[in-house]
Amino acid sequence: MRRVLGLKEIIIDGFKSFSERTKISFCNGINAIVGPNGCGKSNIVDGFLWCLGQQSAKTLRASSMQDVIFAGSLKRKAHSMAEVTVVLSNENGLLPIEFQEVAITRRLYRDGESEYLINKQAVRLKDIIELLAHTGVGKEAFAVIGQGKVSEVISQSPQDRRTLFEEVAGISHFLIKRKESERKLE
Ligand code: ATP
């Protein structure tokens, strides 16, 4: 059986519409979050992507990275920092780290300074990318299928669609290696 990562919790504070620290716990199997249009459901998905290292503001539906920090409302002041923590279960040892539970945190301040942490220890973005490599949860993986993605997949060319299947099947890493070896042989 293919080992998968267990998503335990996401804690969002000052990110997009989440002015108050909000913790969402996930159970095994399918979890659903329901709410009226515009209440912030997609912001949770954005928070997940952002925390795991997404660098494109456009992908996060923001015009600049600072845009993800809570901008204030009629009754609440704007925040000076956004923070999202994603807690993953590592009981099956899929992540190359000696912890049963791994909390990944990303912070961004209005002055542009950012911080990444793994289990409360400051790390580089590179460390997070390396930690998640080959788990199928990296920023280029299709672990997150957002709104509009399904229709995009249907209207793709067969070649582009094949790339998606290869990525999901976890073989693109080997295909890249094969191309590299072929180039060297030439
Ligand atoms: P839909 O049902 O339309 O998909 P949704 O429930 O997924 O909506 P989102 O798109 O996640 O909702 O949330 C949109 C809301 O988040 C908007 O009201 C927007 O003003 C708010 N929002 C986004 N960024 C910020 C920010 N930086 N500060 C405050 N509010 C923000």
With 80 as the cut, is the pLDDT of residue 136 above it?
no
pLDDT attached to residue 185: 96
Flag the least confident range among 70-74, 84-88, 89-93, 103-107: 89-93
Does ligand 1 come within 6 angstroms of the Cβ of 35? yes
Give the residue, by CA position, lying nearest to ligand 1 atom 20.
17
With 70 as the cut, is the pLDDT of residue 178 above it?
yes
Give the residue, by CA position, lying nearest to ligand 1 atom 8.
38
Q: What is the pTM of this model?
A: 0.85
Q: How many CB atoms lie within 10 A of CB 164?
A: 15
Q: Provide the residue type at 66 as one letter.
A: Q
The secondary structure of 54-84, three-state, reads CCCCCCCCCCCHHHHECCCCCCCCCCCEEEE
Share of the chain above pLDDT 70, in %: 95
